[in-house]
Chains A and B, each alone.
Chain A
């Protein structure tokens, strides 16, 4: 089975702190994603990566950055945390799509971040 592991389930950070959310997948997937989940808004894409050292902005990248130095690891960075970044963060991964195969995207269990 595919395993997407988010290192922290629950974090509480202070406003202005630098925050790292780590995600590791064990299935050699090329694609990795960070989503943010908020009530009534569903999941919104923050950043994604197609390969090592590659990154693409999603729909809500402001206030966030990412790092992908190794294929299996994709980190989400909040340079200066703010209270409006209190949310559930979900990491996901999938194989690169070769042709019209529609590879399934697999999710981690989520990291609940509270910024006070």
Chain B
């Protein structure tokens, strides 16, 4: 079974600085998807960014980018120019190419200091 590990329970960043959230996963598959979801205090889970395993190019979405290292099974999220609205719980998630369900990590709480 696939597993997702987020080793940082909490992280802090100063406003306007850059922070990187770590995620590793374990799978024997070669085709899959990886996601970062954001869950603010309102509890609505929001998709931040996604990466297809067959793509070598790292995904980017405005201030959010990933460092996808397939051989190392690592999928970190970089947030640039951090804003107060970025404060939330961030979940890394894995999805097999042949299943529709997501497997989640335990989450990382990100605090943004002004």
A, B in one complex: yes
- Once A45-B101, A96-B100 are accepted as A-B contacts, the answer to whether A104 and B50 lie under 8 Å apart by CB is yes
* Interface residues in B3-35 (C-beta closer than 8 Å to A): 4, 6, 9, 31, 33
Residues 13-46 of A, flagged 1 when their CB comes within 8 A of B and 0 if not, give 0000000000000000001010100001111110
A88 to B101, CA, bound (A): 18
A48 touches B100 (CB 8 A): yes
Q: Are A97 and B100 in contact (CB under 8 A)?
A: yes
- Assess whether B84 is interfacial by the CB under 8 Å rule: no
B54 to A: closest C-beta gap in Å: 8
The residue of chain A having its C-beta at the shortest distance from the C-beta of B37 within the complex is A107
Q: Is A90 an interface residue (CB 8 A)?
A: yes
Pair count A-B, CB < 8 A: 56
Cβ-neighbour of B97 out of A42, A102, A109 (below 8 A):
A102
Contact present for A104 and B47 (CB under 8 Å): yes
Q: Within the complex, which residue of B44, B52, B100, B103 is in contact with A31, where a contact is CB–CB below 8 Å?
A: B100
Interface residues of A in 66-100 (CB under 8 A from B): 88, 90, 92, 94, 96-97, 100
- B107 and A50 contacting across the interface, CB-CB below 8 Å: no
Total B residues in contact with A, Cβ cutoff 8 Å = 25
Q: Which of A44, A94, A109 contacts B42 (CB 8 A)?
A: A109
A58 part of interface (Cβ distance < 8 Å): yes
A24 and B89 alpha carbons, distance in the complex (Å): 25
Q: Is the CB of A43 within 8 A of B104?
A: yes
- The listed residue with most B CB atoms (<10 A of its CB), out of A31, A58, A97, A108, is A97
List the interface of chain B (C-beta within 8 A of A).
4, 6, 9, 31, 33, 37, 42-45, 47, 50, 52, 54, 91, 95, 97, 100-107
**15 A-B residue pairings within 8 Å (CB atoms):** A31-B100, A35-B104, A40-B106, A42-B4, A42-B91, A94-B100, A96-B100, A100-B97, A102-B50, A102-B52, A105-B47, A106-B47, A108-B44, A109-B42, A110-B44
Q: Which 4 A-B pairs have the closest CB atoms?
A: A107-B45, A42-B104, A43-B104, A110-B43
Which residues on A are within 8 Å of B, measured CB to CB?
A: 31, 33, 35, 40-45, 48, 50, 58, 88, 90, 92, 94, 96-97, 100, 102-110
